[in-house]
Amino acid sequence: MNANSLPPVLVINSWLQSASSQLKAANIASAHLDAELILAHTLRKNRTYLHAHSDDILEPRVQEIADARLALRLDHVPIAYIVGYKEFYGRRFSVTTDTLIPRPESESIIDSLKELVPDNLLPFNGTRLRLVDVGTGSGCLGITAKLELPELEVTLMDISLPALTVATTNAKRLHANVTIRKSDLLQNYPLPADVIVANLPYVDPLWERSPDTNHEPTLALFADDGGKALINKLIDQSVAILNPQGLLLLEADPQQHAPIIAFAGQKGFQLVRKQEYCIALKLS
């Protein structure tokens, strides 16, 4: 390699401007933020450092790594997979391409849980309430539930062993005392439960969606019957697992809410709370 083939030496601000322009041209809405996240991650600094050192020269190796990560983002690899984590409910969760990326709309399940559990499911005999996180992926729902409501006895379940490995890593790093079990939905859960939470695959493959989702595991995204097949199967299974007055908290697309609520009503559930992406049901 001769001197003429080397990339130009850039300062932090110049790299950010160039990266932002390229990302914007690729129709990535969060172009400037993503450029900052990539470079901050490469430098092992926070974004504030970039602003305070905008005229610092980037070492060639650092620039090379940042450019490679930028190329991934230009190919619509989600930024969470590039940096290896995603924030959820104020905590950092490790993610890999074996797990769905935690999304802000899923936080409404935790909000609903914190409101409904104290009001409806306080134990009267000193026993700990059992919560099951079905299709846990990275573990963000079940681990957050345990950390927000430590009195819960929490089990994380997923059919994917690689996903359970990620969930185990997150549980250990966040010091969440949870049980982890491989299972196809509730098939291998042996106990009665008081709460079931689930962000199951609910995307219909025919829907329009972000090209970023092409890099997420299809096992965690798509379901038959307009995206409702696995949710309905879980509702069926939950009847035999939940204690009377037990809660089932589901994430689903708003257009799916009415048929899901109707199906659940046929199985003995009643709606107790609905938000944009969250349905909270109680077993009669």
Task: Let me know if residue 92 belongs to a domain.
Answer: no
| Residue 255 and residue 145 share a domain | yes
70 and 185 inside one domain: no
Check which CATH number belongs to the domain holding 18 and give it: 1.10.8.10
Please count the structural domains in the chain.
2
pLDDT digits (tens, 9 = 90+) for 97-130: 999 999 999 999 999 999 998 655 455 556 789 9
Tell whether 120 and 251 lie within a shared domain.
yes
Helix (H/G/I), strand (E/B), else coil: 9: coil
Residues 117 and 235 in one domain: yes
Residue 229 in domain? yes
Tens of pLDDT, residue by residue over 49-72, are 999 999 999 999 999 999 999 999
Q: Is the pLDDT of residue 231 over 60?
A: yes
Q: Is pLDDT of 272 > 60?
A: yes
pLDDT of residue 7: 64
Structural domain harbouring 10: 3-75
Residues 10, 147: one domain? no
Q: Are residues 154 and 215 in the same domain?
A: yes
Total-model pTM? 0.91
39 and 130 share one domain: no
70 and 105 together in one domain? no
Is residue 128 domain-shared with residue 237, that is, in the same domain? yes
The neighbour count for residue 268, using CB atoms within 10 Å, is 15
Q: Are residues 143 and 219 in the same domain?
A: yes
Q: Evaluate whether 196 touches 233 at the Cβ level (below 8 Å).
A: no
Shared-domain flag, residues 198 and 67: no
Same domain, 136 and 262: yes
135-169 as b/e, with b when 16 or more CB fall inside 10 Å?
Answer: bbbbbbbbbbbbbbbeebbbbbbbbbeebbebbee
109 domain-assigned: yes
What confidence score (pLDDT) does residue 1 get?
46
In a domain, residue 82? The reply is no
Q: Decide which of 44, 60, 75 is a domain's last residue.
A: 75
Taking only the tens place, the pLDDT of each residue in 186-198 is 999 999 999 999 9
- What per-residue string of b and e applies to 53-65 under the rule 16 or more CB within 10 Å gives b? eeeeebeeebbeb
- CATH no. for residue 186? 3.40.50.150
- Mean pLDDT of the residues in the chain: 93
Adjacent-strand bridge partners of 86: 93
- Contacts made by residues 10-16, CB under 8 angstroms, sequence distance 24+: 10/57, 10/58, 10/63, 11/54, 11/55, 11/56, 11/57, 11/58, 12/39, 12/50, 12/53, 12/54, 12/55, 12/56, 12/58, 13/54, 13/55, 15/39, 15/58, 15/63, 15/66, 16/50, 16/54
Beta strand 269-274 with 278-283 is antiparallel
